[in-house]
C-alpha cells in the first residue's frame, strides 16, 4: 500500500520497527537500577484472570513497568522540569522526515562519547528527526542490563548542534543521551530542550521536542533518509513507551 507523506512516497506494507518490545522475562533490557517488568493476571480471591488457569474466560493482566528503564520510550522536557509537562500533550504530530546515521562513540578518558564533530559530519540538509545507531551494534542491546555500566552518551556540544540544526526529535539506541553518573547535570537533555532553568522554565525552551531512547536499529537497515512514524501510548506522563517505525522513501 503506497501513501504520500510530506510529498514523499512510502510503502505502508513495509514498516521497519526500531522499538524493543517490553516483556516480563530476563530478555527485557533494564536501566536505572530497577528490576524487570511485571506482567501478571489479576487475582480476586479464587478468581484468576488467566484463561489457562481454567477460572476466567479472558486474560486480564496487570502490567508494572517504568518507561525510562524498561525499553523504548519517548520523553518530553517534563522529564527534567519542576513543573509537569506531558508527552501526550507535547507530541501532536507523528510523521517526520528522519535521517538515520551510524556513529562509533569516541574514547574520552574513561567514557565513550558521541561528539559534535561526528554528528555534524552527517547533517548537511534539514531534517525533522535524527536517529543515532551506535557501534558496536550487537543484538545484545535488546536485552542488555545497563545499570552501573557507564554506557556511551552524547556530549553537550553535540546536543547543542542538534538543537541548532532545528532537529525536533532525537532517537538513540542508548538508555540515555547523558552520562549515567553525572551528578544530576543532564547536560545533553538540557541542551537539546534548551532548558536553562528547570524550576522557572525559560520561554524559549523546546516544548514540542522529544527524545526517544533505547531503540534498536538492525545492521541491515542502511543509513539515510526515511519517514518516521513516532507512535506513543496516551500517557499523561513525562514519558511513554513508544514504537518508532521507519519507512523507506
Helix (H, G, I), strand (E, B) or coil at 52: helix
Percent of the chain with pLDDT over 90: 95
pLDDT exceeds cutoff 90 at 197: yes
Mean pLDDT across the chain: 96
| Mean pLDDT across 216-238 | 97
Q: With DSSP H G I counted as helix, E B as strand and the rest as coil, what are the percentages for the chain, rounded to 5?
A: 15, 30, 55
Higher pLDDT, 55 or 170: 170
Give the model's pLDDT for residue 45.
93
Q: How far apart are CA 59 and CA 234, in angstroms?
A: 22
Please compute the mean of the pLDDT values over residues 142-164 and round it to a whole number: 98
- pLDDT tens for each residue of 202-225: 999 999 999 999 999 999 999 999
Domains and CATH numbers, the chain: 2-22+67-248 (3.50.30.50)
Q: What integer pLDDT is reported at residue 7 of this predicted model?
A: 82
**Average pLDDT of 120-148?**
96
Question: For residue 60, what pLDDT is reported?
Answer: 97
Mean pLDDT of 50-71: 96
* Residue 192: its H or E element: helix 187-193
Confidence of residue 41 (pLDDT cuts 50, 70, 90): very high
Residue 4 has pLDDT above 90, yes or no: no
Rounded Cα distance, 182 and 225, in Å: 33
User: How far lies 179's CA from each of 79, 83, 113, in Å?
Assistant: 16, 24, 9
The model's confidence at residue 134, banded by pLDDT at 50, 70 and 90, is very high
Region 138-149: mean pLDDT is 97
Q: What mean pLDDT do residues 69-85 have?
A: 98
Q: Is the full-model pTM beyond 0.85?
A: yes
Q: In the numeric block, which cell numbers belong to residue 114? A: 558521541
Amino acid at each position: 500500500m503506497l501513501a504520500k507523506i510530506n510529498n514523499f512516497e512510502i510503502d505502508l506494507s513495509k514498516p521497519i520497527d526500531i522499538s524493543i518490545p517490553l516483556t516480563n522475562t530476563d530478555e527485557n533490557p533494564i536501566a536505572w537500577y530497577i528490576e524487570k517488568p511485571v506482567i501478571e493476571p489479576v487475582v480476586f480471591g479464587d478468581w484468576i484472570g488467566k484463561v489457562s488457569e481454567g477460572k476466567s474466560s479472558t486474560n486480564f493482566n496487570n502490567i508494572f513497568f517504568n518507561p525510562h528503564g524498561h525499553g523504548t520510550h519517548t520523553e518530553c522536557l517534563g522529564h527534567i522540569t519542576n513543573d509537569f509537562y506531558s508527552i501526550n500533550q507535547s507530541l501532536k504530530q507523528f510523521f517526520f522526515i528522519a535521517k538515520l546515521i551510524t556513529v562509533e562513540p569516541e574514547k574520552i578518558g574513561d567514557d565513550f562519547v558521541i561528539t559534535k564533530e561526528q554528528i555534524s559530519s552527517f547533517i548537511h540538509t534539514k531534517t525533522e528527526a535524527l536517529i543515532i545507531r551506535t557501534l558496536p551494534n550487537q543484538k545484545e542491546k535488546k536485552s542488555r542490563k545497563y545499570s552501573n555500566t557507564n554506557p556511551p552518551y552524547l556530549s553537550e556540544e553535540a546536543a547543542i548542534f542538534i538543537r541548532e540544526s532545528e532537529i525536533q526529535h532525537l532517537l538513540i539506541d542508548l538508555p540515555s543521551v547523558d552520562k549515567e553518573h553525572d551528578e544530576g547535570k543532564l547536560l545533553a537533555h538540557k541542551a537539546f530542550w534548551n532548558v536553562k532553568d528547570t524550576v522557572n522554565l525559560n520561554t524559549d525552551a523546546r516544548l514540542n521536542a522529544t527524545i526517544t531512547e533505547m531503540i534498536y536499529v538492525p545492521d541491515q537497515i542502511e543509513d539515510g533518509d526515511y519517514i518516521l512514524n513516532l507512535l506513543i501510548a496516551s500517557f499523561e506522563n513525562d514519558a511513554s513507551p513508544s514504537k518508532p517505525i521507519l519507512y523507506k522513501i
